[in-house]
Chain A
Amino acid sequence: MSDRSNAPTAAGIRIASPGRAIRSGTLRKMRRHWQLYIVIALPLLYFLLFKYVPILGIQIAFKDLNAKQGIWGSPWAGFKHFEAFFHHPSFWTLIKNTVFLSLYSLAVGFPAPILLALMLNELKNGLFKRAVQMITYAPYFISTVVMVSMILLFLAPRTGVIDHIRTAFGFGSINYIGQASMFSSIFVLSDVWQYMGYSAIIYIAALAGVNPQLYEAAKLDGASRLQKIIRIDLPSIMPIMVLLLVLNMGQLLNIGFEKVYLMQNPLNVSASEIISTYVYKVGLIQANYSFSAAVGLFNSLINLALILLANFGARRITGSGLF
């Protein structure tokens, strides 16, 4: 241990009083690393300012904010804003849209990279495998704005490439992005297109670490490729699958504001208005701070409950959770 170098002093204190030795030992350790405490001070200040101060700011959800008195001075309003939200005519639409979009995303977006990784793992290392990997990563680098504009360009009625293909086969043109019923599918499938390759990296890495002797043994026992996938590959990526599932569960209601907001238009808004876009519009555009803070807090609390629940479930089922 590094404490050895200072052993004589430590022994001297220990003679005086064992209780104090522990405390002054701690203090001495801290003093020995005083430079590191200075190094860490700035990032810690960042977390306090930009992460913890906003958590304290949640109180405005229980207050009637007025500009003069500010966050701390404004009068308390109890659960007024929460009740107003629960009785709001668009409450159930918002919940329904948010939950549906999230679950749809999770149901398609979670297994897709796993399947891609499992398939790639069956191939021998070669040009084709590397090409698939390199090219499927690429869309990850596209920004949300560009991604949405690609969707709009490709799906545009009459001038978009999808419509050109349809008309080439003699079908009529469709305004895809203007139909509420198609919004969620466009959102989810374009997400899979963009992130499948990137999300697969982690599974590919885990699969590369599987002991090759397991495959040899399975081969001798006459296992088919599919059986090897089910009996060897899946169990070996299970811990990572659980970890990512728990993390994804916690983000369930946080589903991307950025992309949904950009894809919104007056025609599809009945399906595309979700909690986060609503908070933005009511809060920052209409400056209704307290009410939208309450809506946001409601959202955060459900997220928290979901991640704790998912973590608990993961612990019970697989014996390992995130925390």
Chain B
Amino acid sequence: MKKIREPLSDRVFLACIYVILFAILVIVLYPLVYIVSSSFSSPQAVVAGRVWLLPVEPSLKGYTAVLNNPRVWSGYGNSLFYMAAGTFISVLLTIAIAYPLSKRSFHGRTVLMYLLIVTMIFSGGLIPYYMTVKSLGLIDTRWALLLPQAIAVWQVFVAKTFFQETIPEELNEAADIDGCSDLRFLWSVVIPLSKPIVAVLALMYAIAAWNAYFDALIFLKSANLYPLQLILREILIQNSVDNSMMVDVRTMEARQGMKDLLKFSLIVVSSLPVLLIYPFVQKYFVKGVMIGSLKG
């Protein structure tokens, strides 16, 4: 059979779509490329605006300055800890609530579901939240970044939907008859069958933990507990670059160039962990969003 040619108007329409999508691609990609290229250029080239696409006068000065900063190292270490510990706690708690809620024979699940939905559409607001955490004695401790935001209701729904779709109730009944307890079933049947959802949850929580700064801003006072994002805020946005990072820079212009270069390098360094895991988990990432789109 011969392929029917599309009418001219449709071909023009399709061509327009290609043009628009190409423009979007460039607009999204260009700032990212620009940052990476700038971070590898020389301070003079950055401040004079000679960087357009590729690095100009390649140098690693920005990275040396970043790596010589003790604050960046301490923030990096703290953030890695918050990310690892926080993700562990969050995934554990999310599965612990999502699995029972996914079982039809679990008495009280409707009430509990409403309990969760209420927290999604109404909250106490910032001040009562702060005062609660304060009265629990968590202010200025590492727990303040691990516990108050440990469970995201949306992720509970994602996990619950997944359990409902993948673990047939009959399987549980069969195990039940064989004398397998609920805990044992959860541990040796459900969790091994749920690797994709564990990956999705871990990914979502890990990104959120790495990128968060608000709770650290309101709950932490000691600089040695600060996550990387707070340090970044000081350097990148409040522009507080201490002189130890300004090795042999004399003129005003060179100073400005070094400052900007430092910022570009810092952006790359701080986004590295998340960008490194992205290609490996992209499959799960899309899957996670799609599971969430099914109404639970």
A residues with a Cβ closer than 8 A to B are: 2, 5, 26, 29-30, 33, 35-37, 39-40, 42-44, 46-47, 49-58, 60, 71, 116, 119-120, 122-123, 128, 131-132, 134-139, 141-146, 148-150, 152-154, 159, 161, 163-164, 167, 193, 196-198, 201-202, 205-206, 224-226, 240, 243, 250, 257-258, 262, 276, 279-280, 283-284, 289, 292-293, 296-297, 299-300, 303-304, 307, 323
Contact = CB atoms under 8 A, between A and B. Distances in A.
Interface string B247-284: 00000000010001001100100110011001000100
B241 interface: no
Contact of B282 (A37, A134, A276): A134
B26 to A, nearest CB: 10
A152 B106 contact: no
A304 B35 CA distance: 41
Majority secondary structure of chain A interface residues (helix, strand, loop or mixed): helix
B24 A29 contact: no
A201 B213 contact: no
Contact of B128 (A46, A60, A146): A60
B183 A149 contact: no
Contacts of A280: 126, 218
Contact of A240 (B21, B129, B293): B293
14 contacts: A36-B103, A39-B99, A46-B151, A50-B133, A50-B149, A57-B124, A123-B21, A132-B24, A149-B237, A152-B236, A161-B49, A283-B126, A283-B130, A292-B126
Interface of B: 6-7, 9-10, 13-14, 17-18, 20-21, 24-25, 27-29, 31-32, 34-35, 46-47, 49, 93-94, 96-97, 99-101, 103, 105-108, 112, 115-117, 119, 121-133, 135-136, 147-151, 169, 172-173, 176-177, 181-183, 186, 207, 210-214, 218, 229, 232-233, 236-237, 256, 260, 263-264, 267, 270-271, 274-275, 278, 282, 285-286, 289-290, 292-293, 295
B27 to A, nearest CB: 7
B132 A53 contact: yes
A304 B210 CA distance: 30
